[in-house]
Amino acid sequence: MRLYVARHGETEWNRLNKVCGRTDSPLTDTGLRQAQLLADKLDDCPIDVIIASPLSRAQKTAQAVAQRKHLQVVTDDRLIEQDYGVYEGVPRDDEDFLNNKRMFAYRYPGGESMMDIARRTYDLIIETKKRDPDSSVLFVCHNGICRVICSYFRDMTNEEYFEFSQDNCGYNVYEF
Protein backbone atom coordinates (compact mmCIF):
# COMPACT_ATOMS: atom_id res chain seq x y z
CA MET A 1 0.00 0.00 0.00
CA ARG A 2 1.09 3.55 -0.72
CA LEU A 3 -0.19 6.24 1.64
CA TYR A 4 -0.38 9.88 0.59
CA VAL A 5 -0.88 12.29 3.50
CA ALA A 6 -1.96 15.86 2.74
CA ARG A 7 -2.69 18.76 5.01
CA HIS A 8 -5.71 20.96 4.27
CA GLY A 9 -5.42 24.40 2.66
CA GLU A 10 -4.92 27.66 4.53
CA THR A 11 -7.62 28.76 6.96
CA GLU A 12 -8.25 32.14 8.56
CA TRP A 13 -6.85 30.84 11.86
CA ASN A 14 -3.72 29.56 10.08
CA ARG A 15 -3.27 33.02 8.60
CA LEU A 16 -3.73 34.60 12.05
CA ASN A 17 -1.26 32.08 13.58
CA LYS A 18 -3.82 30.75 16.08
CA VAL A 19 -3.90 27.23 17.53
CA CYS A 20 -6.68 25.53 15.59
CA GLY A 21 -7.80 22.07 16.55
CA ARG A 22 -11.50 21.27 16.43
CA THR A 23 -12.71 24.77 15.53
CA ASP A 24 -14.10 24.51 12.02
CA SER A 25 -12.15 27.43 10.58
CA PRO A 26 -12.99 27.55 6.85
CA LEU A 27 -10.53 27.74 3.99
CA THR A 28 -9.48 31.20 2.84
CA ASP A 29 -9.39 32.07 -0.86
CA THR A 30 -5.71 31.13 -0.73
CA GLY A 31 -6.66 27.80 0.86
CA LEU A 32 -9.14 27.09 -1.92
CA ARG A 33 -6.46 27.82 -4.54
CA GLN A 34 -4.01 25.60 -2.64
CA ALA A 35 -6.55 22.77 -2.73
CA GLN A 36 -6.77 23.08 -6.52
CA LEU A 37 -2.96 23.12 -6.76
CA LEU A 38 -2.84 19.97 -4.63
CA ALA A 39 -5.27 18.32 -7.05
CA ASP A 40 -2.93 19.37 -9.89
CA LYS A 41 0.11 17.91 -8.12
CA LEU A 42 -1.69 14.62 -7.42
CA ASP A 43 -3.21 14.38 -10.90
CA ASP A 44 -0.69 11.77 -12.10
CA CYS A 45 -0.61 9.87 -8.80
CA PRO A 46 -2.58 6.62 -8.73
CA ILE A 47 -4.98 7.33 -5.86
CA ASP A 48 -7.73 4.75 -5.30
CA VAL A 49 -9.25 5.88 -2.00
CA ILE A 50 -9.56 9.29 -0.32
CA ILE A 51 -10.19 9.48 3.43
CA ALA A 52 -10.58 12.86 5.14
CA SER A 53 -11.17 14.49 8.49
CA PRO A 54 -14.76 15.61 9.06
CA LEU A 55 -13.76 19.29 9.43
CA SER A 56 -14.74 21.45 6.46
CA ARG A 57 -11.20 22.60 5.74
CA ALA A 58 -10.11 19.01 5.14
CA GLN A 59 -13.35 18.07 3.36
CA LYS A 60 -13.06 20.93 0.85
CA THR A 61 -9.40 20.12 0.22
CA ALA A 62 -10.23 16.44 -0.28
CA GLN A 63 -13.12 17.31 -2.61
CA ALA A 64 -10.77 19.20 -4.93
CA VAL A 65 -8.73 16.03 -5.40
CA ALA A 66 -11.78 13.75 -5.46
CA GLN A 67 -13.41 15.71 -8.28
CA ARG A 68 -10.27 15.41 -10.36
CA LYS A 69 -9.97 11.67 -9.61
CA HIS A 70 -13.72 10.94 -9.92
CA LEU A 71 -13.71 9.46 -6.42
CA GLN A 72 -15.86 9.82 -3.34
CA VAL A 73 -14.42 11.16 -0.09
CA VAL A 74 -14.74 8.83 2.86
CA THR A 75 -14.94 10.70 6.17
CA ASP A 76 -13.20 9.25 9.21
CA ASP A 77 -13.36 11.01 12.59
CA ARG A 78 -9.96 9.58 13.55
CA LEU A 79 -8.35 12.10 11.18
CA ILE A 80 -9.80 15.10 13.03
CA GLU A 81 -7.21 17.44 14.48
CA GLN A 82 -6.09 17.19 18.09
CA ASP A 83 -8.42 18.70 20.68
CA TYR A 84 -6.24 21.42 22.19
CA GLY A 85 -8.75 22.19 24.95
CA VAL A 86 -7.97 25.47 26.72
CA TYR A 87 -5.34 26.34 24.10
CA GLU A 88 -7.82 26.44 21.21
CA GLY A 89 -7.52 29.87 19.58
CA VAL A 90 -4.44 31.10 21.47
CA PRO A 91 -1.45 32.38 19.48
CA ARG A 92 0.71 29.47 18.26
CA ASP A 93 3.73 31.02 19.99
CA ASP A 94 1.98 31.13 23.41
CA GLU A 95 4.61 30.02 25.94
CA ASP A 96 2.27 27.77 27.95
CA PHE A 97 1.00 26.08 24.79
CA LEU A 98 4.54 25.44 23.53
CA ASN A 99 5.68 24.08 26.90
CA ASN A 100 2.73 21.70 27.02
CA LYS A 101 3.24 20.71 23.37
CA ARG A 102 6.62 19.25 24.36
CA MET A 103 4.96 16.85 26.84
CA PHE A 104 3.57 14.18 24.54
CA ALA A 105 1.66 12.25 27.20
CA TYR A 106 0.18 15.44 28.68
CA ARG A 107 -3.54 15.84 28.06
CA TYR A 108 -4.31 19.49 27.36
CA PRO A 109 -6.90 20.67 29.92
CA GLY A 110 -10.25 19.95 28.30
CA GLY A 111 -8.55 18.24 25.33
CA GLU A 112 -6.35 15.37 24.18
CA SER A 113 -2.74 14.31 24.54
CA MET A 114 -0.54 13.51 21.57
CA MET A 115 -0.65 9.91 22.78
CA ASP A 116 -4.45 9.99 22.36
CA ILE A 117 -4.19 11.10 18.75
CA ALA A 118 -1.38 8.63 18.04
CA ARG A 119 -3.57 5.76 19.24
CA ARG A 120 -6.51 6.64 17.01
CA THR A 121 -4.35 7.57 14.02
CA TYR A 122 -2.15 4.46 14.22
CA ASP A 123 -5.31 2.33 14.44
CA LEU A 124 -6.61 3.94 11.25
CA ILE A 125 -3.32 3.35 9.42
CA ILE A 126 -3.28 -0.33 10.43
CA GLU A 127 -6.95 -0.78 9.53
CA THR A 128 -6.48 0.92 6.14
CA LYS A 129 -3.45 -1.23 5.35
CA LYS A 130 -5.45 -4.39 6.10
CA ARG A 131 -8.51 -3.23 4.14
CA ASP A 132 -6.69 -1.75 1.11
CA PRO A 133 -3.31 -3.56 0.92
CA ASP A 134 -2.87 -3.07 -2.83
CA SER A 135 -4.25 0.46 -3.08
CA SER A 136 -2.94 3.98 -3.03
CA VAL A 137 -4.78 5.90 -0.32
CA LEU A 138 -4.89 9.64 0.35
CA PHE A 139 -5.51 10.93 3.87
CA VAL A 140 -6.49 14.62 4.00
CA CYS A 141 -6.07 15.88 7.50
CA HIS A 142 -4.32 18.38 9.76
CA ASN A 143 -0.80 19.31 10.80
CA GLY A 144 -0.94 17.44 14.13
CA ILE A 145 -2.22 14.31 12.42
CA CYS A 146 0.43 14.61 9.67
CA ARG A 147 3.04 14.72 12.44
CA VAL A 148 1.69 11.55 14.06
CA ILE A 149 1.54 9.72 10.73
CA CYS A 150 5.14 10.67 10.01
CA SER A 151 6.12 9.22 13.40
CA TYR A 152 4.44 5.92 12.46
CA PHE A 153 6.72 5.53 9.45
CA ARG A 154 9.89 7.20 10.67
CA ASP A 155 11.76 7.24 13.95
CA MET A 156 11.83 10.79 15.24
CA THR A 157 13.53 12.37 18.20
CA ASN A 158 11.34 14.36 20.58
CA GLU A 159 12.73 17.56 19.08
CA GLU A 160 12.05 16.41 15.49
CA TYR A 161 8.50 15.51 16.48
CA PHE A 162 7.99 18.86 18.21
CA GLU A 163 9.41 20.80 15.24
CA PHE A 164 7.56 18.85 12.52
CA SER A 165 5.26 20.97 10.41
CA GLN A 166 3.63 20.30 7.06
CA ASP A 167 2.73 23.19 4.77
CA ASN A 168 -0.88 23.84 3.91
CA CYS A 169 -1.71 21.44 1.05
CA GLY A 170 1.74 19.92 1.31
CA TYR A 171 1.84 16.15 1.16
CA ASN A 172 4.11 13.22 1.96
CA VAL A 173 4.15 9.71 0.54
CA TYR A 174 4.76 6.62 2.67
CA GLU A 175 5.25 3.04 1.50
CA PHE A 176 4.43 -0.15 3.38
Catalytic site residues? 8, 81
Question: How is residue 57 annotated by DSSP?
Answer: H
Angle in degrees, CA 107, 17, 67, rounded to 5: 90
Distance between CA atoms of 148 and 44, rounded to whole angstroms?
26
Cβ atoms within 10 A of the Cβ of 39, count?
Answer: 19
Question: How is residue 161 annotated by DSSP?
Answer: H
Name the phi and psi angles at 133, rounded to 5: -65, -25
